[in-house]
Amino acid sequence: MLRVLVLLGLAAVMVNGDQYCCSAEDRHIVQDQWDHIWTDTESSQVRVTLGREILLALAKEYAEVNDLFKDVDIAHPEGGKFSAHALRIINAIDFNINLLDDPEALDAALDHLADQHKVRTGVKKVHFQKIGEILNNVLIHVLDNYNALAWKACFKGILGKISSKLQA
Amino acid sequence: MKVLVFVVALMAVALADEECDTLTRLKVKAQWIEAYSHGAARHAFAQAIWRAMFKLSPDSLDLFKRVHASKEADHPEFIAHANRVLAGLDISISLLDQPEALKAELEHLQDQHKERHIPDEYYENFGKALLHVLPAQLGRCWDKEAWSHCYDFIVHGIRGH
């Protein structure tokens, strides 16, 4: 009996292993800080700008990304098509942050995003690593009390799962 | 100067789409941010809308079989889905005052819905569900007509007719 309990305990630790990397405290910090960007009525302008900056920074680092975003007209970043897409990306980030309290639903949401990216030939894991770095750089500039440790802890898992079904 | 202001005002009126006009859009945008909120509150908001929707259109549950829809709307897969839909609505509402980007987003949503052959009735009932839950979030400070007009405008864009 004791052995079973020990095994169950170990299994639980292993299952929950990655949660320690984005603790409840980390999640609350991330959610509170993100709220500052979100709650202003004119935040949609801010959001579009943030999304645009992130994607353009990625394209600057990896030229092939320009091709991946051709359909959303990355050649005209101020245009409607790319602006809407920039907001879509930022909303996905928002969406994930707001599901951090519900690991099962978050998992389902990330799985869906992984599927959506899997079918986009040419999308690579390194792109997501870079987005993590870019997000870090961007948020330092827009948040007063940016807590890099908490953000990195939570986004490592989020970006890792979104890119988990990619070949390269 | 006065003439210019007048001309700009006239143009704004002319550009407005029927009743979801410029000022109404700003109102809806502001009220949405309040209602959409965040974290656990957003969760409850999303769930309430879908529960109301499934009450109005029980048949629509079939459409969402793949994401484990149920009357209670509480399966993790469905919670993720419910939040995805609201995120799409969030994008559309947020862009109400950026016409070019709004057009692109509505076209994108139209593409996503085209294949699914969703009856008009479901769109109407989703609107009813939304308008039913919004005042619960916003209390007195909400404008049903404004919402009704702008919801119709967005759905028109998603349906393409």
Dump pLDDT digits (tens) for B27-77.
999 999 989 988 888 989 999 999 999 999 999 999 999 999 999 999 999
Is A17 inside a domain boundary? no
- Say whether B113 counts as a known binding-site residue: yes
Could you give the percent of chain B with pLDDT greater than 90? 76
Task: List beta partners, residue B17.
Answer: B20
Report the chain A residue with the minimal C-alpha distance to residue B100. A80
The whole-angstrom separation of Cα B29 and Cα B49 is 18
Is A12 inside a domain boundary? no
Examine the pLDDT at A63 and tell me if it is beyond 50. Answer: yes
Cβ atoms of A30 and A151 closer than 8 Å = yes
pTM (2 decimals)?
0.83
pLDDT in the model for residue A13: 46
Is A53 inside a domain boundary? yes
CA distance B18 to chain A (A): 22
Query: Could you tell me the CATH number of the domain that includes residue A86?
Result: 1.10.490.10
pLDDT (tens digit per residue) in B107-151: 999 999 998 889 999 999 999 999 999 999 898 889 999 999 999
Please report, as a single letter, which amino acid is at residue A142: V
Report the chain A residue with the minimal C-alpha distance to residue B42. A98
Domain that residue A80 falls in: 42-163
Q: Which of B33, B42, B45 to mutate to probe the A interface, most A CBs <10 Å?
A: B33
Cβ atoms of A127 and A65 closer than 8 Å = yes
pLDDT band at B9 (very low <50, low <70, confident <90, very high): low
- Out of 1.10.490.10, 1.10.287.610, 3.40.50.720, 3.40.50.2020, the CATH code matching B18-159 is 1.10.490.10
Examine the pLDDT at B18 and tell me if it is beyond 70. Answer: no
The whole-angstrom separation of Cα A106 and Cα A95 is 9
B89 Cβ neighbours under 8 A, 6+ residues apart: B154
Is A25 inside a domain boundary? no
Best CA proximity match to A143, nearest among A37, A43, A29, A42: A37
Q: Where are the domains of chain B?
A: 18-159
Is A81 inside a domain boundary? yes
Tell whether ipTM is more than 0.85.
Answer: no
Is A30 inside a domain boundary? no
Other C-beta atoms lying within 10 Å of the C-beta of residue B140: 5
b/e sequence B85-111, b meaning 16+ C-beta within 10 Å: bbbbbbbbbbbbbbeebbebbbbbbee
b/e sequence A120-129, b meaning 16+ C-beta within 10 Å: eeebbeebbe
pLDDT (tens digit per residue) in A1-18: 666 666 555 555 444 444
Number of domains in chain A: 1
B55 Cβ neighbours under 8 A, 6+ residues apart: B71, B129
User: Distances from the Cα of A103 to the Cαs of A96, A146, B5, B18, B78, in angstroms?
Assistant: 10, 23, 53, 43, 13
Least confident of A32-36, A43-47, A164-168: A43-47
pLDDT (tens digit per residue) in A90-100: 999 999 999 99
pLDDT in the model for residue A39: 72
User: Distances from the Cα of B140 to the Cαs of A137, B136, B144, in angstroms?
Assistant: 41, 9, 10
Task: List beta partners, residue B20.
Answer: B17
Cβ atoms of B38 and A38 closer than 8 Å = yes
Is A58 inside a domain boundary? yes
Who among A45, A92, A98 is closest to B42 (CB)?
A98
Q: What part of A 61-100 touches B (C-beta under 8 Å)?
A: 79-81, 83-85, 87-88, 91-92, 94-95, 98-99
SS3 A13: helix
User: A48: which chain B residues are within 8 Å (Cβ-Cβ)?
Assistant: 98, 101
Q: Which two tokens stand for residue A14?
A: 């292993």
Question: How large is the average pLDDT for residues B78-107?
Answer: 95
Is pLDDT larger for residue A59 or for residue B5? Answer: A59
Is pLDDT larger for residue B39 or for residue A164? Answer: A164
